[in-house]
Amino acid sequence: MNSAPTASVCIVTFNSGSDIASCLQAVLRLSYPIEKIVVLDNASSDDSCTVVRSFGEAVLLVENKNNVGFAQGQNQAIACTSSDYVLVLNPDVVLEPDYLSILIEAMERDKQIGSAIGQLLLGADPSIIDSTGIEMGAVRRAWDRGGGEPASMWNTSGEIFGVTAAAAVYARRMIEDVKLNGQFFDASYFAYKEDVDVAWRARRLGWKAYYRAEAKALHQRGWKYEGRKSRKQIPLFLRRHSYQNRIFTIIKNEPSGWPLFVNAYRLAGYELLQIGYLALFEPSLLTCWLTIFKEWPRFLKKRRLLKLKIAGR
């Protein structure tokens, strides 16, 4: 008889002391056996590490001396595991006990499913969806599928564009297959949109992403749902990385040839509108273009690497 597939949990913390205990308690209550729980701390200045240590040998704590970001932090955490499946989890997420077992069951039935996610609900109001995965529009703006809508509207499972890394299960078979330059998440993103990049890359390489409505979790998502009334109240650091990483993701993943030609006018028009908006209302964000132009050649190289992987299929 074949043994059951193994699973690990990887969490990156940064000043997550108020959330990580509840997150880990829920992980320890999962009905699916966990081979290893890894918490990678990015030089927190609060009591995050103290809280994690209180869980003893049940959790492997890796402490970085510097904050290397979510993307590289998760790459480090994943490298500490060898399981068939990896649950990439945010410290402000609390899982239902059957969350992992439901998703792995779906992924075992169809081995082309490389990533899966359940129904993420708002911690402040569990009747409202936080995310059921990633959607991608024609102008390559990605958003949380179902975000802000009643949970009752999202009870149908099915294939989706991609999964948000807040509570994503990735198959090792896919992780190894879609790596570029040895990296699963692109470490140069630091944070934000790294899961969009992985989703698009995996899709282009023939992998499926799946949503299972029966698997449920609560996501606090504090920065997004604290009643902020304008974009300017969102931290500049977050807005900067979100903006420039979207451009990097397009450079890397937008298909060449006729599809690019057809979509180019929409992309160019949208970016001109974006730049006009930023010039009027958020001029500090325009400095992102200095980084974008500087990094453009490097991302073109990554684009060529992906093209070679696709051609080798």
In this predicted structure, what is the pLDDT of residue 2? 67
Question: φ, ψ for residue 128 (rounded to 5)?
Answer: -115, 140
Tokens 């410290």, residue?
91
Task: Name residue 199's amino acid.
Answer: A
In this predicted structure, what is the pLDDT of residue 264? 78
**Is the pTM value of this prediction over 0.85?**
yes
In this predicted structure, what is the pLDDT of residue 231? 57
CB 88 within 8 A of CB 136: no
Question: pLDDT tens, position by position, for the chain (313 residues)?
Answer: 568 999 999 999 999 999 999 999 999 999 999 999 999 999 999 999 999 999 999 999 999 999 999 999 999 999 999 999 999 999 999 999 999 999 999 999 999 999 999 999 999 999 999 999 999 988 898 999 999 999 999 999 999 999 999 999 999 999 999 999 999 999 999 989 999 999 999 999 999 999 999 999 999 875 454 444 445 566 777 788 889 999 999 999 998 877 677 777 788 888 888 888 888 888 888 899 999 999 999 999 999 999 999 998 8
Written as six digits, the tokens of 309 are: 């992987």
CB 32 within 8 A of CB 100: yes
In this predicted structure, what is the pLDDT of residue 193? 94
Q: Domains along the chain? A: 7-224 (3.90.550.10), 231-311 (no CATH)
Q: How far apart are CA 9 and CA 30, in angstroms?
A: 11
Task: Name residue 231's amino acid.
Answer: R
In this predicted structure, what is the pLDDT of residue 101? 98
In this predicted structure, what is the pLDDT of residue 221? 73
CB 47 within 8 A of CB 69: no
In this predicted structure, what is the pLDDT of residue 33? 97
Helical H segments across 85-223, by residue range: 99-109, 172-178, 194-204
Of 54, 30, 21, 10, nearest to 217 (Cα)? 30
